[in-house]
Amino acid sequence: MPVFPIPKILSEDHVDEAAERINYYYTELTIKGRKLYSGSLFDEFAPEQNPEGTFTAADFLSTGLLSVHVPSEAISKFFTDTELVKELEHHLRQLPANIDLGDLNKSAFDRLLGSKDSPGFMLWDLIRGNRIHRKTGHDYVGMGATLTSKLLARKRPRLIPIWDSKVKEQLQLPHSGRHWEGMWHALTDDEGELTDRLTEIREKSDQPQISLLRTFDVAVWHYAKDPSDPWSRPQTGNESEPADDDGQIGDAADDVPDAEPQQK
């Protein structure tokens, strides 16, 4: 059963528009010749410094391209608390890097992301700081939901979706607590209809380097930022880059905490 409504921009009759918006996001330049959207650099930023099982300084720099910045306390914990990092990377290595969220069956989703003892849930929980883990006694990092999702999306772009204020608005979710579950349902319900549509949108946008989750994210984010209907590609870029996620800079903690459902 769907957890949220599918945004209008991802409907069958908006495929061409969604593809055009994504292509605009990734290719438009400012009058100074820089990328109009800094987030367009996120997907392929410093690939040689993005090992599958380890967090690096480049991972934290990459979140700045999406206009969220890691607070100093979190950076300190990631690079000085060896026991915490060891546990974080243990959970990270249990999440496959070569599989899409929409390819998981219910059992695999629960095992990897859905249950409270899954590596995805444990990883999110330790970074978010919902509670100190009683089993290990380890501290947590203490980052907000938006920042946590973008850091994990850097490490597992095919498996973990991005959460931000625009996604929250479009999906009509009160908090990130059911985001992963909702995205899994959206991609697998109706015999994977949305997965097929996202594949078509990505192909038409000519951006093969991005994951289906990122295709979803960029189309929904751009539509939320500019819901003009019909939308037409502007002829020239703005002089300066817009913030990709207004109001989320320094997202160290959220006003609305994660809930305690099965997922995240």
Other C-beta atoms within 10 Å of 257: how many?
A: 14
Q: What pLDDT score was predicted for residue 243?
A: 46
| 208/61 Cα distance (integer angstroms) | 23
User: Can you tell me the mean pLDDT for 32-57?
Assistant: 95
Contact between 96 and 118 (Cβ < 8 Å): no
Length of the chain: 264
In percent, the amount of the chain with pLDDT more than 70 equals 84
Q: State how far the Cα of 165 lies from the Cα of 152, in Å rounded to an integer.
A: 17
- Please report the pLDDT score of residue 262 as a whole number: 39
Angle (nearest 5°) at CA 218 between 150 and 74: 10
Give the residue with greater pLDDT, 252 vs 185: 185
238 half-sphere exposure, CB direction, 13 A CA radius: 9
In this prediction, residue 86 has a pLDDT band, given cuts at 50, 70 and 90, of very high
Mean pLDDT computed over every residue of the chain = 87
The least confident of 139-148, 173-182, 207-216 is 139-148
- At 239 the three-state DSSP class reads coil
- The tokens describing 22, both together, are 């994504």
Model confidence, pTM: 0.89
Q: Is residue 49 classed as helix, strand or coil in its secondary structure?
A: helix
Average pLDDT over residues 50-68: 95
Which is it for the CA torsion 49, 46, 61, 213, positive or negative? negative
Q: Which residues contact 122 (CB under 8 A, 6 or more apart)?
A: 91, 133
pLDDT class of 136 with cuts at 50, 70, 90: low
Least confident window among 48-62, 134-148, 154-168, 193-207: 134-148
For residue 228, the one-letter residue type is: S
The percentage of residues in the chain with a pLDDT greater than 90, rounded to a whole number, is 70
Q: Check pLDDT > 80 for residue 91.
A: yes
Query: Lowest-confidence range among 141-145, 165-169, 190-194?
Result: 141-145
